[in-house]
Structure 1
Amino acid sequence: MRLRPVRPAGWWFDGLLLAALVGLTVALATGHLFGLDRATADWAAQHRPTAARWTAMILNYLGQGTPLTLLAAGLGVLVAIRLRSVRAVLPPVVAFVLTFLTIGPLKVWTARPAPSASVKEPFLPPDQTLPLFQHDLPVRFAQSYPSGHVANAIVWYGVLALLVAPLLRTFGRAVPPRLVTVVRVLPPLIVLCTTTYLGWHWLTDSVAGLLLGLLLNRLLSRVPWDDVPLPPALRNWNRPFTSTP
Structure 2
Amino acid sequence: MTRTVRQIARLTPRPVRPAGWWLDGVLLVATAALTLALANGVFLDTDIAVRDWVDAHRPDVAAIVAEVFNKLGQGGQVLMPVAGLLAAALAWRARSVRPVLVFAGGFLITYATIGPMKLLLHRGYPHNDEIPHPERLFSDPAEGLAYPSGHVANAIIWYGVITLLLAGLLRHLGRPDVSPAVYRTIRVAPPAIVFCTTTYLGFHWITDSIAGFLLGLLLSRLLSRVPWDDLPLPALPNGFDRPAIFNRPAETADEPTPVS
The reply to whether TM is greater than 0.5 is yes
How much has 1:239 moved relative to structure 2? 2.4
**Percent identity between the aligned chains?**
52
* TM-score between both structures, scaled by the size of structure 2: 0.87
1:181 equivalent among 167, 184, 199: 184
In 1, Cα distance between equivalents of 2:134 and 2:226: 39
Aligned partner of residue 173 in structure 2, secondary structure: coil
1:124 CA displacement: 3.0
Correspondence for 2:69 among 44, 48, 59? 59
Structure 2 distance, partners of 1:34, 1:200, is 16
The correspondence of residues 7-22 of structure 1 with structure 2, limited to 5 A, is: 7-22=17-32
Residue 243 of structure 1 pairs with residue 246 of structure 2:
yes
2:203 aligned to which of 200, 204, 207:
200
CA distance in 2, matches of 1:89, 1:76: 6
Q: Quick one: distance in 1 between partners of 2:48 and 2:70?
A: 21
Q: Which runs of 4+ in 1 moved over 3 A?
A: none
Counterparts of 2:191 and 2:61, CA distance in 1: 22
TM-aligned CA deviation for residue 235 of structure 1: 6.0
Partner of 1:239, secondary structure, is coil
Partners of 1:73 and 1:93 within 8 A in 2: no
- Map 1:1-245; keep pairs closer than 5 Å: 1-67=11-77, 68-118=79-129, 123-125=130-132, 128-134=133-139, 137-138=141-142, 140=143, 142-173=144-175, 174-234=177-237, 236-243=239-246
Q: Deviations over 1:9-63 (max 9, x none)?
A: 1111111000000000000000000111111111100000000001111111000
Give ranges in structure 2 of 5+ residues lacking alignment: 1-10, 248-260
Any unmatched runs of 5+ in structure 1?
A: none
**Contact 1:114–1:200 (8 Å) recurs in 2:** yes
TM-score (norm 1): 0.93
Provide the alpha-carbon RMSD of the alignment: 1.3
| Partner amino acid, structure 2, of 1:103 | I
User: Aligned residue pairs: how many?
Assistant: 235
Higher percent of residues as helix: 1
Larger Rg computed on CA atoms: 2
| Residues 87 and 238, structure 1, Cα contact 8 Å, conserved in 2 | yes
